[in-house]
Structure 1
Amino acid sequence: MTDQRRPAPRVAVTRVLPDATMRRLSELFDARLPADDRPMTRDELSRAMADCDVLVPTVTDQIDADLIAAAGPALKLIANFGAGVNHIDLHAARARGVIVTNTPGVLTEDTADMAMALILAVPRRLAEGEKLVRSGQWTGWSPGGMLGHRIGGKKLGIVGMGRIGQAVARRARAFGLSIHYHNRHRLPLVLEAELGAAWHPNLDGMLAEIDILSIHTPRNPDSENLLDARRLALLRPHVFLINTSRGGIVDEDALTDALEQGRLAGAGLDVWRHEPEIDPRLLALPNVVMTPHMGSATYEGRVATGEKVILNIRMWADGHRPPDQVLEGWA
């Protein structure tokens, strides 16, 4: 009897993923795995897309319209390793009949933990204190040494009240912060009550009232430079800005100017417009806590992300709609 089973899909993986994910990809599919963990060049990415059924990219891969147009006819699924898809041209993918999936939900708690850590670290000057101790120049406790600001009783403004924004709100309430948020759509009243959150339909109005600002909106055409020079000027000089979402939502030049000129008290940044390049002016500022895009960097989160990627590929290969298909209007 002839074996009627379809051949395993050819799956091109652009970065080294957790061992368990790589092993399972190899067991289930005709997986083409990278030899080392570095971002693919554009030519390498183009060659991979020319000879695969499924591409598994990460945030370091810019999948633009030209790459999608030049892809081989077999490419039918881009199974992104990660929740954000602003690095993939969804319109071009849809025009070519290529399904795009992501991995929502699995990194919510990890990213919220990082945001809360920065909300604590920047006002309390934790990074400055750590550097002082390591420098050997600390002379001991004094009443005026390393004074920061308490966060209890302050107003936290959240831009983007999706899964991560809500998780941050729950953490922040436990530290005595009052929660304010701006979102495209208002949350159900029962959820607002649970979070103790006040909705601001006008972003500008919220910015003028808060003490700490935390960014949790996806990066898309509507949110590009959402916090530009004009809006940053609405923040009062004692405000701290936290961004664990995506670089490009905050105008980095305008933010750096505001920090240098004392028009903002400090910032906690885990994401950057031109990663891994960072403006030297930001590097020189003591009141900026900087982390290397590690908001989702937990063993548990990475493994869970890989499991979602594999599930999306398996469902597609079996002829079903993947559970995490991203629509063009995703936000």
Structure 2
Amino acid sequence: MSVANVILFGAGRMGAIRARLMYANPLYNVLAIVDPNPSFAQKLADTFHIPLVTSTLAEAQDKLCSTGVEEVASGVVVSSPTGAHKQVFEESADMGLHIFTEKPVDESAEKIKALFEYTDSKGVQLCCGFQRRFDPSYVNVKKAIDAGTVGDVSLANVFFHDSPTPALEFLLTGGDIFMDLAPHDVDYVLWCLGGDTEVESVYATGTSSQPELKAAGVMDQATMLIKTRAGALITISMSRSSSYGYDQRTEFFGTKGCARVNNLTEDGMEIGTSAGLTSSRAMESFPQRFNEGFRFELDEFHGVLTEDKKWPIGMETCMAVQRIADAAGVSAREGRVVML
């Protein structure tokens, strides 16, 4: 199979995860890291033997061309804050680079639409990652639902309890629970139900566990209730402070039974005695729990870059998820059901 030459944009937490996975994958070759703070990115480049660090995408391309790289980049893996996406995506599209990005594509459905239309006009794919669609346990539950194993699904329950508790600074600047946490499971549940855009109403409520969060209007504990046009109910419980590990559970109830994604523990150990059952702690956080999902996302993007495959998550899905996240925020702030 062909090696995919890419540029990594963003050297933060997600950038480090992507760099590690591509370094371990012989079908990827990371030519450069782009980050507004090159000195910060240099440590990541040194760790994974990435030869070039620059502060802009244009500078990276110029230097790659001037050093006589035999095979130029065909894609860019973007792990930057959402506010930087527009400029990076447009520059990448102008250079003919296919784009892989962390969710969300942008901050509103209208902006998402504009970016998809722009990249499409340049003949490049904009590939938004929702790792649950690539995680084996989540995929197998989706297959069971599609096969009719549990019958017609009328109820889905999700628990998304984060670990470790993010720093207060992050929660105040980019930790909106409806924008940061909810989209992952909203996308997954609607994908399983087969109706990405078929939501009738959204109700959400939440609370702030710290005075600083309350003063800033930031909720870190919340619940959502989504009703689809077909009549299915989806509840999503979210918390930023799970002391016992990363709690990720999803269950679907149908006319023939149920299907569940349960928590994965650190090592799978379980002990049974007359006192009861004990098990290992849940995994620490999302890099451990979704390592396979992140890896399989990059495998899929490799197919986009080298085999001209079509990315399975499109504009309409990304817009629908964003509208639901927006509606949840409005509902929680105004204390009312939001009709879609």
Higher helix share: 2
Larger Rg: 1
Bigger proportion of residues as strand: 2
Asked if Structure 1 and Structure 2 have the same fold, meaning a TM-score greater than 0.5 normalized by the shorter chain, the answer is no
Q: Name the TM-score class by shorter chain.
A: 0.3 to 0.5
* Higher relative contact order, structure no. (Cα contacts within 8 Å, ≥ 6 residues apart): 2
- What TM-score do the two structures reach when normalised by structure 2? 0.40
